[in-house]
Amino acid sequence: MLAELGSCLLLAVALLGPGPRARAMKGVKCGGVLSAPSGNFSSPNFPGLYPYNTECSWLIVVAEGSSVLLTFHAFDLEYHDTCGFDFLEIYNGAAGDQGNLLGRFCGQVPPPPFTSSWHILSVIFHSDKHVASRGFSAGYQKDACGGVLTGLSGVLTSPGYPDHYPNDAECRWVIRAAGPATVKLVFADFQVEGSAECAYDYVAVLGAPGPARGHRFCGGARPPALVSRGFELQVVFKSDFNIGGRGFKAYFFSGECQEVYTAVRGNFSSPHYPSAYPNNVRCHWTIRLPPGYRVKLFFLDLELEGPNSLTKTCDFDHLAAFDGASEEAPLLGRWCGRHLPPPVTSSRSQLLLLLRADRSTSSRGFSVAYIGVVPMNVSCSRMDFQILISTQALAPLGRTQVYLGSRRCAAQEVDGTFRIQARFDTCGTESQRRNNTSVIVSTLYIDFSAGGQEDVHQYEVLCEPRRKEASVRLLSGSDWLGPYAATAEHLQEAPPGDEAEALPGPAALVAQDTSDIVFLGLCILAGVLMVMAIVVLMLL
């Protein structure tokens, strides 16, 4: 009798209950920490229907210095065009930080293989209260060779790095930019068996400008920084049956986390600014101006994780500026916390700004502005100004776009140099008193206007005639620098020798101040004339 009653109940449930794709339990416990070198996991009930209203979180943790390769064996989640109902999220590191999100997936197309950029990877499964499917099955393994790398930044290494890589290895990484951006690849270390045309072991980079077969590298020389033509870059590592090396380590940057600026002035900020920047990122911004320029960087806002309480140094999140285009260039400064640094100036035409964030504690970030500094040789006598600027520093401009006071006092171009020599009674000069000292002041204009867009930079040129000391500072053309607009001091010197030739000919003429000689000559002449006049009067 009991058996018959049970059969009737089952039949009633089958007839009156919901359809087969809705026969799922409500939320269950799931997820956990996966710490073995490799393993498998799946959605609850797989390959049966997953439950409603469920959220599972798996944290995959492998040995420090290793990476995680995640692959999917099966995938079937409720489809939505933005995956707004049921979905799977994959994070490069701990979940919850959108800057670490590698992707959100649903439907029946499985996600591609993903390789973490450090030793932690998170997977979140979410289902709502309607429609259930079979779910997913996935596997992971430590120190995998190849995979898909996405996000703002990350790192890839040869198998076993920094130990020798194995023989007969073949790895392929696909690096995809975060958003509509390019990918920048920078090698931090490189040692691969060398050979003619890299026929044995090599690293090939596909998708960067160059030969159709891509750039192939081997030996001990570190490859140059490479930037993709589009939003994707492929890196292939191949080793043959003998002779190995330490391998390679490379960083990639994309989206808001890398950019190259070539305009004379500009501004940029940390990812997501003024919201908190992501954890575990390494970002590169390069300012690259024409030879002869210097780069002056102004900090408009700074809020990073504070310094180490024990060492009082920036051991965690920090911002660093380098006097060149790479981290091997001299360090201009390293900052953290909330103290706003003073402006810094490069000694050459390139400057690199690097943001390094660790795995915890993020803040608002930073905002900076920069302007191209025009190195110039400014001097004065008791009667005139002399200004010399290398034409290499102002390569796009003609001499009439460089003038003192008004366009009637335009520069002359002499042997690769813009030269202005103006008496104190011309070219808009005027006498002023500053700090109880008489000075002569004029305005130097450099007109960068192009395409109907007015862009004229003005510099105050000042001379103290008694001491014959000259100085120059930026007056305008940089209103966007906020409180720094009126105090953006310029360099007053010749261009550095490694970027521009020494100023020819006219520089020697400027260095010779003949005003004192002229003055003495006039005095002697006046004395002679006076003596002659006295003699003539006596004779009369």
Question: 534: Cβ–Cβ under 8 A, 6 or more apart, which residues?
Answer: none
Which of 196, 241, 233 has its CA nearest to residue 218? 196
Lowest pLDDT segment from 33-42, 452-461, 472-481, 495-504: 495-504
Cα–chain center distance at 341: 18
pTM exceeding 0.85: no
pLDDT exceeds 80 at position 420: yes
Cα–Cα distance, 283 to 399 (Å, whole number): 39
DSSP, residue by residue, 211-278: -TT-EEE-BSSPPPPEE-SSSEEEEEEE--SS----EEEEEEEEGGGEEEE-SSEEEEE-TTTTSPPP
Which of 64, 67, 66, 56 has its CA nearest to residue 33? 56
Which one has a higher pLDDT value, 352 or 213?
Answer: 352
Structure tokens at 482: 């906020």
Which of 364, 446, 341 has its CA nearest to residue 399? 446
Instruction: Write the pLDDT tens digit of every residue in 98-108.
Output: 667 888 999 99
Instruction: Write the pLDDT tens digit of every residue in 374-417.
Output: 888 999 999 999 999 988 878 778 999 999 999 999 999 999 89
pLDDT, mean of residues 14-35: 57
Instruction: Write the pLDDT tens digit of every residue in 485-539.
Output: 544 444 444 333 333 333 333 232 233 344 455 555 666 777 778 878 787 777 7
pLDDT, mean of residues 366-370: 94
**Cβ-count burial 67-96 (b if 16+ within 10 Å, e if not):** bbbbbbeebbbbeeeebebbbbbbbbbebe
pLDDT, mean of residues 416-434: 93
The pLDDT of residue 10 is: 33
The pLDDT of residue 6 is: 41
For residue 431, the SS3 value is: strand
Enter the DSSP assignment of 316: S
**Cβ-count burial 249-282 (b if 16+ within 10 Å, e if not):** bbbbbbbbbbbebeebbbebbbbbbeebbbbbbb
The pLDDT of residue 229 is: 87
